[in-house]
Every structure is written in C-alpha cells, then in structure tokens.
C-alpha cells in the first residue's frame, strides 16, 4: 500500500461527499415533480409523451397499481428485447453478418438487462450487432436504472406521506428520471468519453497493421454512448468482453476515476433525497455514514490484500503486490477500488479480473453482493434495499427499549417487518439454492474452469452476482449453456422483482399511517449508535448468505489461502 493509493481513495470519498447534496437536491426536485432548469427545453417532450401514451401524470396510483404497471412494463420490454436478439441476423446495422442469438441465450440476455443485472455470458463484440447493442441493450440501461429510482421514490413517499392511499405515478416517475437526469447527464458524459478516446461510430471494425507486419481487425461501434449509461445507471454490461479493462471503454487513469465516481453518484445523492423527503436531512446523512463505513472497510481489505500479494509470490522474490489480471494503467489501487465500488453498487462493470485476485481480495466483492448490495448500491435499489435493513434495525431497537418501533415518524409494525424479512430472505434462498443445484447437477459441474473449492467459488459468485443483480463474474465459469442461462435467468428475475414488490407493499402500508412524533422512549435514528446498529444488522443478516456459502466449499479456497496470505 502507498500514500498515493490512499490519497486516491480519500479523493474519491471526498468528491462523493461533496456531490451528495447537489445531486440529492436535483433528485428531490424530480421526486416532487417540480420544475427544473431543463424543463424549458425538455418540458414539451415530457408533455408530448404523456399525450401520446394517454398518461395523466397527476393521477397517482396505490402500491398495487404501481407494482402492476411496473411489472407489465418489464415483461413487455423483456419480450421486445428477446425478439430483437433472436432476429438479429435479419436486422440492419449488422455489418459483420452476425446470426441471431439462440432461445436460451436471448432469454438470459433479455432478463439480464431488464433487471439491471447485465450479466454477460457472451463476447459482446463477437456476438452482437451495433443495432442489438443500441436498441436491445443500451435502452434497457436507461429504463432499468429509471425503474430502480422510481421504486425508491415510491418508498420515500410511503415514509413521508400521512394517511394517504397513493405512492405516486410509475409512468411519471420513469419519464422524469429518464428525461431530466439520465439522458442529459449521459449526453455530456459520452462526449467526455469520446474526447478521452472512447469510440463512438456506426462502423463495425477497422483494420490495423501491427508492428510485426500482421493485419488485425479491431472491433468498433457506438461505445461511448453505452459506456456512459452503463456506469451512471449501475448497469455494468460492457460493449466489449473485457468491459472496463478494455482501452476502448476505459482508456486512462482519469477515465477510471470518473467511471468509479459515476457508479456511486446517484446512489449517494439518493441518501440526501431521502432525508429531504422525510423532512430531516440527518436521516440521509446517517444512512450515508453507515454505507461509507462498510465501503471503506471493504476497500481497506481488498487494497491491503492485493498490495500485500501472496506468500508464494514473496517466496519467488516477486514484490510490488498482485498484478495478475490487472491493467498496468490502473495499478493495484485503481483495480481494487473499482472492484469494491462495482460490487458494492450492483454495477458489475470490471476493470480487472476478480478471479485473479488474492483470496481475501476476491472475497470482498463476493461479500459485497451477499450483503444485498446496499453499500451505496444500485441506483434506487441500493437505498430501498438499505431501508429494508433500517426497518429491521428499528424493530430490534424497539425490542431493546420495550416500545413499538418507529422510524422517521412511522410506527413499524408486524406487516412491515414481515415484508422486509420476506424481501431480504430472497437473497440467501436464491444464492444458496441455485449454487447447491449447480454444484450437484452434471450440467452445472461442467461450467467451472477450476475444479475443487475454487470451482465452487466460481459457481457461488455467479449466483450471488445474478441474484443481487450485479452482473460481474469470477471469469472462470463457462455460463453460456442452457443450464446456466435458464437457472441464472430465474435468479436474476427473482432477485429483482421479488424484492421490489414487497418494497412497494411496505410503501403503501406506511403511506396509510399517521405521523408519530418521536417521544422520550423513541430510539434515535441519526446518531453514532444508530449508524453502528445499522452496520451490525447488515453484517449479521449478510452472514446468513455468506457463512453457509463458505461452508459449502470455498472455505478451503478462501479462508485457508487467506490465512497463508496474512501469516
């Protein structure tokens, strides 16, 4: 570890801390449906959409209607993506004549991008045409991100409203987030990436001559536009197979820093938005403090272990840390920090191969996902997932003080606790259940490149990534088979929507309640004690997935190797 490395981490955290309030205020304006400076230009577009679609943005929905409209929209767009991928060979902007994707592969990709997972079993530049990259995938990067933020807005309204039967309008929330946040930021972001060296062209490839005199065909395409929303929307699906390790996606150390910041930007802002929505910004800062503690703990371990390297490398006289699977232009700190950011935020973009990390270095990305990716988390998904843990935390606090638990002026009763537990339980059930099936089925055992404990780690990582809607992989797993495409597709769908629906039910239940002022016996939810309780609850519940997963096999791979790494 170096002073420069820690300076980069400190700079990263400082920039995000400074950005939380301005980003949160912009999001709060969209949450309330207020006018922004962009309305002068984009307002007519928004109104035109409402007229064409027959949507009345002033007509709000109860949580059931909100959930139904959201689910129908996801199903319709997933079907459209499936058909586009199947028909790829017949569609334009396919200069290389690539055939359509097979049924199981197209189904997996459609579910992957609808759920904001962006799991990629394929090589993007070799399997997908420019039209598929733009129309089938990049559009979902906007829509899935907007869906997550819309669900967060609905839950915020549940906490903020009093004796109300509605939680907002799904179509209005989606439209405003896409039109006034995601699109304008991504236009500017994509222009920056083009300036930095990222391609943006309809050309499929270019021929180059190497120094040895050989002829090489280099894939190109509309990369910058997809790269911008891939990161800002915490999607993660790369245009190229190497993702953000590819020089055409992430050319320099500066673009690497900007990409990491953009992954966390909206998630950090939403914590402040929540505080504004409930009328107490200290609530948002407390949530951000708990997230930051968990994040920095992960960074310290991952960076420390990658910089320390392994005993075998030390015996061979190889100093300087573990550079296997990393790009020289990013170095150890830029790779370790990116790995923690992308798995804490359910992004899944990678600038290094996690399969090549040291034992404990590779354990942190896995642990981040199994916590439910609430350490900043995906856009919208991180904050509403974190609030599920907050509900559990106030329930535990209520038991300690002998009172009905309260949080931001709402009594947390049996219905909310049961729904929170139901949503949180989805993660361990799907991760452990899917991993167990794959570990005993012949088709599942054919997937890992490595055998033994590390091979199981590849399986466990895949189901953790799919269920948590992350999308990164332990590289060694050959997942493009009907078995894995089907099973991981189910995990992605359940991991997304079996959490969203209970969240909306909680929003509806809370919105109907009266406001309960804090009393002398109320547990304070803004101080250090509350932040510590939140961190503890998240770690304990995350262990429900993490420890059984280790017991199933990777204990020899991770803990034994980690002990050797440390001692």
pLDDT digits (tens, 9 = 90+) for 261-270: 999 999 999 9
407 strand-pairing partners: 410
- Name residue, tokens 């699906």: 237
Phi, psi torsion values for 218, nearest 5 degrees: -105, 125
Q: Is beta strand 205-209 parallel, antiparallel or unpaired with respect to 215-219?
A: antiparallel
Strands (E), 224-331: none
Radius of gyration for the chain, computed over Cα atoms and rounded to the nearest angstrom: 23
Look up the pTM and report it.
0.93
- The 3-class secondary structure across 440-494, one letter per residue, is HCHHHHCCECCCCHHHHHHHHHHHHHHHCCCCCCCCCECCCCHHHHHHHHHHHHH
Nearest-angstrom CA–CA distance, 420 and 422: 5
Structure tokens at 296: 């920095």
pLDDT in tens, 485-531: 999 999 999 999 999 999 999 999 999 999 888 776 778 888 899 99
The structure tokens listed for 401 are 């003080």
Burial of 80 (0-12, 13-18, 19+ CB in 10 A): middle
| DSSP secondary structure letter of residue 407 | E
**3-state class of 209 per DSSP?**
strand
Three-state DSSP class for 200?
strand
Q: Say if residue 469 is exposed, middle or buried (CB neighbours under 10 Å; 0-12, 13-18, 19+).
A: buried
- State the helix-helix crossing angle for 528-551 and 414-440, rounded to 10 degrees: 30
Averages of pLDDT over each 10 residues, the chain, 567 residues:
90 96 97 93 94 93 96 96 95 91 95 93 88 91 96 96 94 96 96 96 86 86 94 91 92 95 96 95 96 95 86 70 88 93 92 87 89 90 94 88 83 92 90 90 88 86 93 85 95 95 96 84 86 91 64 46 44
How far the first Cα of the chain sits from its last, in Å, is 17
Distance (Å) of CA 69 to CA 149, 170, 511, 523: 15, 7, 19, 37
The two tokens of residue 500 are 């969203």
Q: pLDDT tens digits for 143-165?
A: 999 999 999 999 999 999 999 99
> How far from chain centre, in Å, is Cα 472?
10
Listed in sequence order, the DSSP H helices in 33-102 are 39-53, 63-86
User: Looking at residue 67, what is its pLDDT?
Assistant: 97
Distance of CA 442 to the CA centre of its chain: 31
């Amino acid at each position: 570890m170096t002073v420069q490395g820690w300076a980069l981490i400190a700079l990263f955290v400082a920039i995000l801390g400074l950005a939380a309030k301005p980003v949160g205020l912009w999001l709060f304006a969209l949450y309330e449906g207020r006018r922004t400076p962009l309305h002068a230009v984009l307002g007519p577009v928004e109104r035109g959409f409402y007229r064409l679609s027959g949507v009345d943005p002033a007509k709000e929905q109860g949580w059931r209607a909100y959930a139904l409209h959201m689910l129908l929209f996801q199903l319709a767009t997933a079907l459209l993506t499936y058909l586009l991928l199947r028909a790829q060979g017949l569609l334009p902007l396919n200069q290389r004549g690539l055939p359509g994707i097979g049924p199981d592969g197209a189904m997996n990709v459609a579910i992957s991008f609808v759920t904001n997972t962006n799991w990629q079993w394929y090589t993007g530049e070799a399997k997908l045409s420019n039209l598929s990259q733009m129309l089938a995938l990049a559009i979902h990067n906007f829509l899935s991100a907007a869906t997550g933020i819309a669900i967060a807005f609905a839950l915020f309204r549940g906490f903020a409203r009093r004796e109300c039967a509605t939680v907002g309008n799904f179509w209005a929330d989606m439209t405003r987030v896409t039109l006034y946040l995601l699109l304008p930021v991504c236009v500017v972001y994509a222009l920056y990436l083009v300036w930095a060296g990222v391609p943006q062209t309809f050309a499929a490839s270019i021929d180059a001559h190497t120094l040895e005199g050989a002829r090489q065909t280099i894939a190109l395409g509309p990369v910058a536009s997809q790269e911008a929303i891939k990161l800002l929307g915490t999607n993660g699906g790369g245009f190229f197979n190497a993702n953000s390790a590819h020089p055409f996606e992430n050319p320099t150390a500066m673009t690497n820093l900007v990409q990491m910041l953009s992954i966390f930007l909206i998630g950090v802002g939403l914590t402040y938005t929540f505080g504004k929505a409930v009328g107490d910004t200290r609530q948002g800062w407390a949530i951000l403090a708990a997230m930051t503690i968990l994040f920095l703990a992960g960074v310290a371990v991952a960076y420390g272990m990658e910089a320390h390297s392994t005993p075998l490398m030390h015996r061979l006289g190889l100093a300087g840390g573990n550079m296997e699977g990393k790009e020289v232009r990013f170095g150890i700190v830029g790779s370790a920090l990116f790995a923690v950011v992308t798995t804490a935020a359910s992004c899944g973009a990678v600038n290094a191969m996690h399969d090549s990390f040291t034992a404990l270095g590779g354990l942190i990305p896995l642990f981040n996902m199994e916590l439910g990716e609430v350490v900043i988390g995906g856009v919208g998904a991180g904050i509403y997932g974190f609030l599920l843990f907050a509900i559990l935390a106030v329930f535990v606090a209520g038991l300690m003080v002998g009172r009905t638990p309260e949080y931001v002026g709402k009594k947390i009763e049996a219905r909310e606790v049961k729904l929170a537990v139901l949503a949180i339980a989805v993660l361990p059930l799907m991760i452990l259940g899917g991993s167990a099936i794959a570990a005993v089925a012949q088709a599942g055992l054919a997937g890992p490149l490595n055998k033994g404990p590390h091979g199981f780690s590849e399986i466990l990582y895949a189901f953790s990534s799919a269920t948590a809607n992350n999308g990164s992989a332990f590289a060694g797993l050959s997942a493009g088979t009907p078995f894995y495409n089907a099973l991981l597709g189910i995990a992605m769908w359940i991991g997304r929507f079996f959490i969203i629906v209970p969240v909306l039910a909680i929003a509806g239940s809370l919105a109907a309640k009266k406001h309960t002022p804090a009393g002398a016996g109320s547990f304070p939810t803004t101080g250090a004690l509350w932040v510590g309780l939140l961190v503890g609850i998240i770690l304990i519940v995350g262990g429900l997935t993490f420890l059984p997963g280790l017991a199933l096999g990777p204990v020899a791979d991770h803990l034994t190797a980690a002990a050797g790494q440390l001692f």
